[in-house]
C-alpha cells in the first residue's frame, strides 16, 4: 500500500507537517546555530574600543614624531577623507568597487552553489571535478590576475571574474558540506512521502543546509572585496584598488589609508548584509531552538 499523499499548501505535494519533522531532526548541536542578538547594554563596547584604538594611534604617531608618509595620524586620514569625499571622486571609486564585488559575489556564489550541489549528490562527479576544484583554490590569484586581464579585458569583467574565482571555493565547500549534512533518514522520509526531486531540493536540502551555506557566503562576501581589489591593482583606472595604487605612487599614505578603510567598510557591510539575510531567512530555527 503506497504511503498517503499529504495535501500541500503550495505547489508541492507535501503538507506543513514535514517542516517540523525535518527541522526537529536538524536541530542538533553540530549544526551552526544562528547568532543570538547581543545584549543591548554591551552595545557601547564596540564604538568605545574603536575610539580607544584611534586615540592610541593618534598618540603614537604624534609622540613618536613619525612623518605622515610612514604613519599618518587618524586626524590626517580624516582630513584626506573629507578632501576626497568633497570632490566626489571617493564615492565614484567606492561605487565601482562595490559593483565589482556584488557582481563577483553573484557569479562566484551561483557557480559554486550549482556545482557544489551536484558534487554533493554525485561521488563520481566529485572524483571528476576534484582536481579542478582544488586547483581553483590553490591558484595564486595575484599571479594569474594579469592573465585574466588579458583574457577578459581591462574593464569590469576581469575584476568580476577575479572576485568570483576567490569567492568560488569557500562557497562550494560549504555547499557540499551543507548538502551532505542533511540526515539520510530525512531523505528516506521525503521519499516515503513520494516527494519529487524538486521538492527534496527545495523543501529539504536547501533549508537544511542553509546554516552551513550562509557560513560560506559570509566568507565569500569578504573575499569578494579582496578579489575586486586584486584586479584593480593589476589594471584599472577607477575603484578603491586603483585609488590605493594611485596614492602609493604619490606617497600619499593618508590617501592610501582612506581607501583601505573604505574597503574594510565595504567588507563589513557585505558581511553584515549576509548576516542580516541569514537572520531573516533562518528565523524559523530560532523558534525551534527556543
Grid cell at residue 6: 499529504
Measured between its terminal Cα atoms, the distance across the chain in Å is 38
Query: What is the nearest approach in angstroms of another protein to the Cβ of residue 250?
Result: 5
Which CB atom, from 69 or from 91, has the smaller least distance to another protein? Answer: 69
Grid cell at residue 122: 554525485
Q: Which of 95, 213, 241, 107 is nearest to 167 (CA)?
A: 107
Which CB atom, from 94 or from 245, has the smaller least distance to another protein? Answer: 245
Ordered DSSP codes for 40-55: GGGTTHHHHHHHHHHH
- Any residues with CB less than 8 A from the CB of 9 and at least 6 apart, and which? 15, 16
Q: Which of 89, 93, 70, 57 is nearest to 254 (CA)?
A: 70
Query: What is the nearest approach in angstroms of another protein to the Cβ of residue 139?
Result: 18
Q: Phi-psi bin for 35: left (phi > 0), alpha (psi -120 to 50), beta?
A: beta
Which CB atom, from 119 or from 234, has the smaller least distance to another protein? Answer: 234
Which CB atom, from 34 or from 246, has the smaller least distance to another protein? Answer: 246
Which CB atom, from 17 or from 153, has the smaller least distance to another protein? Answer: 153
Query: What is the nearest approach in angstroms of another protein to the Cβ of residue 104?
Result: 18
* Strand intervals (E) in 85-242: none
Q: Using CB under 8 A, list all residues that contact another protein.
A: 67-70, 146, 149-150, 153-154, 234-237, 242, 245-246, 248-253
Query: What is the nearest approach in angstroms of another protein to the Cβ of residue 6?
Result: 59
Query: What is the nearest approach in angstroms of another protein to the Cβ of residue 108?
Result: 22
Amino acid at each position: 500500500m503506497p504511503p498517503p499523499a499529504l495535501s500541500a499548501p503550495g505547489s508541492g505535494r507535501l503538507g506543513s507537517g514535514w517542516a517540523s519533522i525535518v527541522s526537529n531532526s536538524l536541530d542538533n548541536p553540530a549544526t551552526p546555530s544562528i547568532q543570538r542578538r547581543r545584549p543591548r547594554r554591551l552595545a557601547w563596547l564596540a564604538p568605545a574600543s574603536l575610539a580607544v584604538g584611534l586615540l592610541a594611534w593618534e598618540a603614537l604617531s604624534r609622540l613618536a614624531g613619525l612623518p605622515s608618509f610612514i604613519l599618518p595620524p587618524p586626524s590626517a586620514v580624516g582630513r584626506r577623507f573629507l578632501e576626497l569625499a568633497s570632490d566626489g571622486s571617493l564615492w565614484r571609486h567606492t561605487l565601482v568597487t562595490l559593483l565589482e564585488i556584488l557582481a563577483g559575489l553573484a557569479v562566484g556564489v551561483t557557480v559554486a552553489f550549482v556545482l557544489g550541489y551536484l558534487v554533493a549528490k554525485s561521488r563520481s562527479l566529485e572524483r571528476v571535478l576534484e582536481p579542478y576544484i582544488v586547483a581553483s583554490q590553490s591558484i595564486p590569484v595575484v599571479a594569474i590576475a594579469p592573465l585574466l586581464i588579458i583574457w577578459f579585458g581591462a574593464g569590469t569583467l576581469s575584476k568580476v571574474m577575479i572576485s568570483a574565482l576567490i569567492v568560488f571555493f569557500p562557497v562550494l565547500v560549504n555547499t557540499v558540506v551543507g548538502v551532505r549534512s542533511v540526515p539520510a533518514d530525512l531523505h528516506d522520509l521525503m521519499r516515503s512521502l513520494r516527494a519529487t526531486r524538486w521538492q527534496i531540493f527545495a523543501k529539504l536540502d536547501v533549508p537544511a543546509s542553509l546554516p552551513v551555506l550562509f557560513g560560506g557566503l559570509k566568507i565569500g562576501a569578504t573575499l569578494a572585496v579582496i578579489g575586486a581589489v586584486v584586479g584593480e591593482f593589476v589594471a584599472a583606472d577607477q575603484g578603491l584598488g586603483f585609488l590605493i595604487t594611485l596614492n602609493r605612487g604619490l606617497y600619499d599614505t593618508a590617501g592610501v589609508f582612506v581607501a583601505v578603510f573604505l574597503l574594510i567598510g565595504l567588507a563589513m557591510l557585505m558581511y553584515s548584509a549576509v548576516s542580516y539575510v541569514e537572520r531573516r531567512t533562518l528565523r524559523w530555527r530560532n523558534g525551534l531552538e527556543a
